[in-house]
Chains A and B, each alone.
Chain A
Amino acid sequence: MTDAIQVRGLSYRVEGFALRDLNLTVPGGAVYGFLGPNGAGKTTTVRLLLGLLRPEGGSIRVLDEEVPADLVSILRRVGYVPERPHLYPDLTVAESIRFHAAFHARFDHAASGRLAARFGLPHDRVLSRLSKGEMGKLMILQALAQRPDLLVLDEPTDGLDPVVRREALSAILEYVSETGASVLISSHLVHELERFCDWIGVLDQGTMVAELPMQEFKSGLKRLRVGAGAEAASAPFSLLAREPAGVGGELWTVRGWRSDMSAWFSDTHPLREVVDLDLEEAFVELLRTARTPDGRIV
């Protein structure tokens, strides 16, 4: 299957912020979690992907077509949920859905009706009077009812309460199960993405710090409790950080760990424990070690 999104050498500059030579790949059919702290440039990248901003350099291919050359053709097959509400505020829920349907040939009215009922959206209420949760659900409804091949979701559950978040994610995953569509979902809520993303890309200060399958990311990052005297020079893994811990011991944060590597340790350089990091901890460690002491990206 061709990649859903393929970005090479993307660069973009605006006052005080720059994307430098960004490479990003979302494999076809993948659920790709786009992580990064606030201000990393996730929203900017998403906007560039959809032709809302013009890059300074690099190439962007979405669903095997070029941005911005084939933009209209691409937008037919992409469902977009931006960070901030973008629908026309003076339309009612029913009117907004009708409006959206008029522009999308594949629009599934039956699915839209089912989702509207499930989400409990009030048909005759004007968008400007919807709650944050209702607006979020409406945007997702419209993006899903459109039957896209790719969903681009920019912090779709940001600021929503847990009940609404679950409903929204359920609907999205149900759609993905039915259609095998690809998803790019950006968030800084790491715990949420951990359950269902099979790829993860980490952006920090405009640079892609890591991009790899979720399982590899989680399994490779560990904390090791080692005895004193352990020497890291010839280690088969990469040592990201070390700090003293407890009596005569150290805590090492390592990357690229495999279980057979425990053989490298010995009685004189003992390995006491291997601690798993959850995604949030792994993410924080990754950022911490990718930055220089004064906080900049290397």
Chain B
Amino acid sequence: MFRAVLMSFWRESRLAVILLAGIALAVPLLSLRGTWTTDPWTAWDLLGAAARWSPGYPVIALAAAMALAAGAWWPDHRTKHVYALTLPVARSRYLWLRYLAGLALLLAIGASLLVGSLIATLRITLPPLVHAYPVALTLRFGLAGLSAYTVLFALSGLTPRMARLIVAVCCALVIVTVAAELLSLEWNPIATVVEALLGPYSPLSIFRARWMLIDV
């Protein structure tokens, strides 16, 4: 069954996955483009190049998560879930199969990133005190992608009733924050929630970090 689900997922998200895998392969290579012609580079130049391109990686991770979460649900949303609900498979099991299929494709994009960063960094001779982190970068990508994909997968799969509930909660938060502001109360529920989501103890905090292919 998993193969069939993976096949249908691939059919759905083929273009996005190939595009993102291509980008993931290209970005590390492009970031160290200068080293193709002049080698070795100075530590300073290497760090600068890495820093300039570092915002790209979390963006790719987020894009991949979004594309895969959408691809996981799009065919079902379009057909009102009738097919999935009439297949002889428990709903939870089907969801799990779809989730894992998306994860497999995410891994494929991560693998592409690993290949690109390995090629980019293994070719050059690193000056002392500076190290390349292709594996760490890929792991970070994987973790970020996993977290974002999981959250987005869950959100995409919401029934209209659940979606309405969540929108209602968000509106309530906004209203309360504005009211607190107007009443000059020292309370900001939205900030608290955002801090919880992206703060140091949340898996999504990874998106705020710096993603350096080459670092000290």
Question: What residues make up the interface of A, taking CB atoms closer than 8 Å to B?
Answer: 50-52, 72-73, 75-76, 78, 80, 82, 85-91, 95, 98-99, 101-104
CB-CB nearest in chain A for B71: A90
CB distance from B87 to the nearest CB of A (A): 5
Closest partner residue, chain B, to A128 (CB atom):
B78
**Smallest Cβ-Cβ distance to B3: which chain A residue:** A102
- Of all chain B residues, the one with the shortest Cβ separation from A85 is B79
Contact A91 B86 (CB under 8 A): no
Instruction: Give chain A residues whose Cβ lies under 8 Å from the Cβ of B83.
Output: 86-88
Interface string of B50-88 (1 = CB under 8 A from A): 000000000000000000000000010011101101111
User: Is B1 on the interface with A (CB-CB < 8 A)?
Assistant: yes
A51 to B88 Cα, complex, angstroms: 12
**Is A86 within 8 A of B7, CB to CB?**
no
Q: How far is A291 from B171 in the complex, measured between Cα atoms in Å?
A: 49
B74 to chain A minimum Cβ distance, whole angstroms, is 8
Tell me whether A95 and B79 are in contact (CB under 8 A): no
Contact B7 A51 (CB under 8 A): no
User: With a CB–CB cut-off of 8 A, which chain B residues contact A90?
Assistant: 8, 11-12, 75
CB contact list, B67-121 vs A, under 8 A: 75, 78-80, 82-83, 85-90
Cβ of B4 within 8 Å of any chain A Cβ, yes or no, is: yes
Cβ contacts under 8 Å, A101 to chain B: 4
Query: In this complex, what residue of B is CB-closest to A142?
Result: B83
CB nearest neighbor in B for A50: B86
B75 touches A88 (CB 8 A): yes
Cα-based distance from A83 to B39 in the complex (angstroms): 67
B90 touches A72 (CB 8 A): yes
Q: Which parts of B1-53 form the interface with A (CB within 8 Å)? A: 1, 3-4, 7-8, 11-12
Contacts of B85 in A (CB 8 A): 51-52
Q: Which residues of A contact B90 (CB under 8 A)?
A: 72
What are 15 sample pairs from A and B whose C-beta atoms fall under 8 A apart?
A: A52-B86, A75-B87, A78-B86, A80-B86, A82-B82, A87-B79, A88-B75, A90-B8, A95-B7, A98-B7, A102-B1, A102-B3, A102-B4, A103-B87, A104-B88
The listed residue (B1, B75, B80, B88) touching A72 by CB distance below 8 A is B88
Query: CA A89 – CA B12 in complex, angstroms?
Result: 9
Residues of A within 8 A of B78 (CB): 89
- In the complex, what's the smallest C-beta–C-beta distance from B78 to chain A, in angstroms? 6
Residue of chain A at shortest CB distance from B78: A89
Q: Which residue of A lies closest to B94 (CB)?
A: A103
The residue on A at minimum CB distance from B85 is: A52
Q: Give the residue of A73, A75, A85, A99 whose beta carbon is less than 8 angstroms from that of B7.
A: A99
B11: which A residues are within 8 A, CB to CB? 88, 90-91, 95
Specify which of B12, B78, B83, B90 lies most central, judged by the most chain A CB atoms within 10 Å of its CB. B83
B89: chain A residues within 8 A (beta carbon): 72, 103
Closest Cβ neighbor of A152 among chain B residues: B86
Q: Which of B3, B4, B82, B88 contacts A52 (CB 8 A)?
A: B82
Q: Complex formed: what's the CA distance from A240 to B201 in Å?
A: 76
